[in-house]
């Protein structure tokens, strides 16, 4: 799909949210990826036109950030956290398994265009290690087996639910969420889990609490 006048209008809407329009450049690039799947030369031009920048300035920004892709990713873009927090606890083994199963390396896409892999750094989920992401939704506490199952389910078009609630959607829909342009309808899914509640539950079981104040 190509960028449209609606995309341009939405970019202008994003730019209007900030005291200085250029602040919207990252959200605008996310929005461009939500239409075309990656940052195309046309997207660079449109961002530059909307903000009154040169294409070189926009390209310079886009190329700095790892989430902005200069070529299409797979329909399902799988991130495997290989930072030691996850890597040592199993992320490295998961990476080896998926990379060898799929025959693709870092930032590469399978021939059928279904799956791409990325070696990702810490996702702020070390309590839930090893962690994968599927189009940036979290898959916590993975094993080699569950990672293989995840990839198979996604390739077969089965519904997959993130361990934090939302369904795994396509890459472009996720990018629209990241742009912040509108509500994707998934914001009210409860997502605390045993690990986030570990301390609270322990405290309640052992009658521990914060000293009185008007604790809110």
Partner 1 sequence: MPLTPVITAHWDEADSFTLDGYRRHGGYSALSKAFEMGPDAVIAAVKDSGLRGRGGAGFPTGLKWSFVPQNDGKPHYLVVNADESEPGACKDIPIMLANPHALIEGIIVASYAIRADHAFVYIRGEVPHVIRRVHAAVRQAHEAGYLGDNILGSGFNLNLVVHAGAGAYICGEETALLDSLEGRRGQPRLKPPFPAVAGLYACPTVVNNVETIANVPYIVNNGVDWFRSFGTDKSPGFKVFAVSGHVQRPGIYEAPLGTPMSELLDYAGGIREGHTLKFWLPGGSSVPMLTPEHIDLPMTYEAMAEAGSMMGTGTPMLYDDTTSVVRAVTGWLDFYKHESCGKCTPCREGNWFIHDLVHRFDTGRGERQQLKILDDVCGQIMGRSFCALGDAAATPFPAAMKYFADEFEAGTTTPSSQAFDPAASTVFNEVRA
Under rule CB under 8 A, residue 105 binds partner 1: no
Judged by CB, which is closer to partner 1: 76, or 136? 136
Under rule CB under 8 A, residue 213 binds partner 1: yes
Q: Which stretch binds partner 1 (CB under 8 A): 5-13, 107-115, 116-124, 148-156?
A: 116-124
Under rule CB under 8 A, residue 174 binds partner 1: yes
Q: Taking the complex as a whole, how short is the minimal distance between the CB of residue 213 and partner 1, in angstroms?
A: 3
Report the DSSP pairing between strands 132-134 and 76-81: antiparallel
> Two tokens at 156?
């077969």
Under rule CB under 8 A, residue 192 binds partner 1: yes
Under rule CB under 8 A, residue 149 binds partner 1: no
- For partner 1, the binding residue among 70, 124, 152, 170 (CB under 8 A) is 124
> Two tokens at 86?
């996850």
- For partner 1, the binding residue among 87, 104, 110, 134 (CB under 8 A) is 87
- For partner 1, the binding residue among 83, 101, 107, 108 (CB under 8 A) is 83
- For partner 1, the binding residue among 9, 41, 54, 60 (CB under 8 A) is 60
- For partner 1, the binding residue among 44, 117, 130, 151 (CB under 8 A) is 130
Under rule CB under 8 A, residue 106 binds partner 1: no
SS3 for the chain is CCCCHHHHHHHHHHHCCCCCHHHHHHHHHHHHHHHHCCCCHHHHHHHHHHHCCCHHHHHHHHCCCCCCCCCCCCCEEEEEECCHHHHHHHHHHHHHHHHHHHCCCCCEECCCCCEEEEEECCCCCHHHCCCEEECCEEECCCCHHHHHHHHHHHHCCCCCECCCCCECCCHHHHHHHHHCCCCCCCCCCCCCCCCCCHHHHHHHHCCCCCCCCCCC
- For partner 1, the binding residue among 143, 158, 167, 170 (CB under 8 A) is 143
Under rule CB under 8 A, residue 16 binds partner 1: no
């Amino acid at each position: 799909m190509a960028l449209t006048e609606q995309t341009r209008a939405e970019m202008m809407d994003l730019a209007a949210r900030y005291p200085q329009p250029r602040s919207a450049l990252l959200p605008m690039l996310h929005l461009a990826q939500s239409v075309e799947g990656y940052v195309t030369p046309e997207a660079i031009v449109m961002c530059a036109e909307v903000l009154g920048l040169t294409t070189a300035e926009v390209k310079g920004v886009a190329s700095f950030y790892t989430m902005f892709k200069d070529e299409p990713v797979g329909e399902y873009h799988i991130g495997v956290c290989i930072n030691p927090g996850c890597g040592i606890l199993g992320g490295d083994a998961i990476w080896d398994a998926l990379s060898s199963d799929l025959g693709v390396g870092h930032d590469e896409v399978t021939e059928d265009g279904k799956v791409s892999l990325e070696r990702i750094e810490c996702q702020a989920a070390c309590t839930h290690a090893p962690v994968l992401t599927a189009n940036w939704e979290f898959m916590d506490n993975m094993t080699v087996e569950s990672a293989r199952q995840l990839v198979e389910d996604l390739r077969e078009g089965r519904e997959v639910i993130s361990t934090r609630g939302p369904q795994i959607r396509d890459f472009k829909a996720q990018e629209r969420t990241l742009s912040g342009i509108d509500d994707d309808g998934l914001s009210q899914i409860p997502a605390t889990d045993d690990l986030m509640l570990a301390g609270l539950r322990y405290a309640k079981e052992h009658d521990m609490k914060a000293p009185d104040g008007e604790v809110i």
